[in-house]
Amino acid sequence: MGGSPENTVLHPLHQVQFATHAKLKVDDYCHNGARRRLRLHEKGGKEHDMPVHHLLEQILDEYIVVAGLQSGQPLFQSVNSTGMEVTGRALNRYNAWAAIRKRAKAAGFLTPVGCHTWRATGITIYLENDGRLEQAQQMAGHESPRTTKLYDRTKDEITLSEVERIRL
């Protein structure tokens, strides 16, 4: 995956909304014992710490080193016009959306993809792997489980056995 800002922002293993990404500083990616955590700054001034998935931890560690990020800087930064260096400015939602569209197009997606697609992917993958809705809700920072269910795509796939239940 490599150490680029788009790889870290676009990673579905954390179900964090983009507004929370934009507020993160390098110091918000911190140690808690042997593992890393992200100190998330949510809507309404709420804060909570969330453990970082081991794959995302590898990506973030590489990204911070490759980008040369320092304490106090935004964790997710825009890149210069060549796309080779970070600018020191926080990644804005337009840059993030452009990166998502670029990545989706390169991957062959035919339907529109946005920030919420990645959030839904993270929540769906978690639930498909026997995760609990209550935990997904907490990770996503939702007040209500109904909001979290809006991102749950586990029921979207219609199986052949379901179609065969149709009696003609």
pLDDT digits (tens, 9 = 90+) for 112-123: 887 777 778 888
Q: Please write the tens of the pLDDT for every residue from 10-49.
A: 444 455 555 566 788 999 999 888 889 988 887 777 788 8
- For residues 141 and 30, the answer to whether their CB atoms sit within 8 Å is no
Distance between CA atoms of residues 101 and 74, nearest Å: 22
Question: What's this model's pTM, rounded to 2 decimal places?
Answer: 0.69
- How far apart CA 38 and CA 12 sit, in angstroms, is 15
Number of helices (H), then strands (E), in the chain:
8, 5
Cβ(5)–Cβ(67) under 8 Å?
yes
CB of 10 closer than 8 Å to CB of 100: yes
What are the chain's domains? 5-163 (1.10.443.10)
Check whether 9 has a pLDDT greater than 70.
Answer: no
